[in-house]
Amino acid sequence: MQSNYPSSTLGLLLGTHSILDNIGLYIDRFTASNSTLTEKWRTDFLTRLGTIEKTLGVDSFLDKKQSEQTIVQTGEQLIVKAIRLKDDMEFPYTNNISRYNLLTSSLGLDNIKSTKSRSKLYSTSMSYEENIGGFRTELTGLGVNATLIDDVLALATKFKDDYKALESNHNRAISTTDEQQTELNSIYTDIMAVCKLGQSIFSKEPNISKLFTFSQVKKKYVTPRKSKKVTPPPAGLTPPPTNTPTDTTPTTDKPVEPPVSH
């Protein structure tokens, strides 16, 4: 039997959990719209999810949900420290901005201040992990904090590894019987109906309405582009003397594409 949902089965389950969590925040508004949509209805739906997860052998789903929270926290820490590192790197290259731009681009830090999507942060992590070894001595020699450099590396490595594991788990195929697939299709139909109602209820409150857009709420992963290994130039590793500026044009972050839903 074919599925009627445009995602993996784990994607359906995770997205439905997220939608139900969001409904719980505004259950009174849903009940006011339809008296059957009570907290009991929500908990019964969660029980329904738990039953199908167990029959599919994915009742370790809550562990996956915890992994989601962990990767979000790691990503937030990585962005904060990476921004600090990028800013600290700018000072010793005041008179050699072109070299600064080369390093931040090679390390994936050029757009870090405007990075929003998980896949873009994964690409940053890959670039940093692969290329920091070639620049570390130069940076520390110019006074950049070595501990901060290493902290960013540790967070980038953790984020990269967690991302790959989570993406692999999310996209793995799950075999289903016709009976199980019928129930999964029914879950999707039912949750989409509630999403449609939620969007209607909060039509004048877009920040809340989007919490009930299934395609945005479900955790969807897109394999990001691979980073490119950068070999540090054999010469010109240190900035020129301060009395011979080469480029003093201020550097700015380039705008990034709209974030990938996840």
Instruction: Give which of 152, 130, 150 is closest to 140, Cα–Cα.
Output: 150
Gyration radius of the chain's alpha carbons: 23
- pLDDT average, residue stretch 218-231: 43
For residue 248, what pLDDT is reported? 38
117-131, 154-168, 190-204: the lowest-pLDDT one: 154-168
Helix, strand, coil percent content, the chain, rounded in steps of 5: 65, 0, 35
Q: How far apart are CA 97 and CA 213, in angstroms?
A: 44
pLDDT per position as a tens digit, 8-54: 787 888 889 889 999 999 999 999 999 999 999 999 999 999 999 88
Structure confidence at residue 25 (pLDDT): 94
d(CA 172, CA 7): 11
DSSP assignments along 56-94, one per residue = HT-TTHHHHHHHHHHHHHHHHHHHHHHHHHHHHHHGGGT
Tell me what pLDDT residue 12 has: 86
**pTM assigned to the model:** 0.51
Q: Rounded to 5 degrees, what are φ and ψ at 173? A: -75, 145
Span 62-77, pLDDT tens digits: 556 556 667 888 999 9
Q: How far apart are CA 161 and CA 174, in angstroms?
A: 23
Residues 23/24/26/32 CA torsion (nearest 10 deg) = 80
Asked which of 48-57, 109-118, 122-131, 220-229 is least confident by mean pLDDT, the reply is: 220-229
Contacts of 57 (CB under 8 A, 6+ apart): 174
> How far apart are the two ends of the chain, measured CA to CA in Å?
27
Q: Where are the domains of the chain?
A: 9-58+174-217, 63-168
What are the tens digits of pLDDT across the range 82-106?
A: 999 999 999 999 999 999 999 999 9
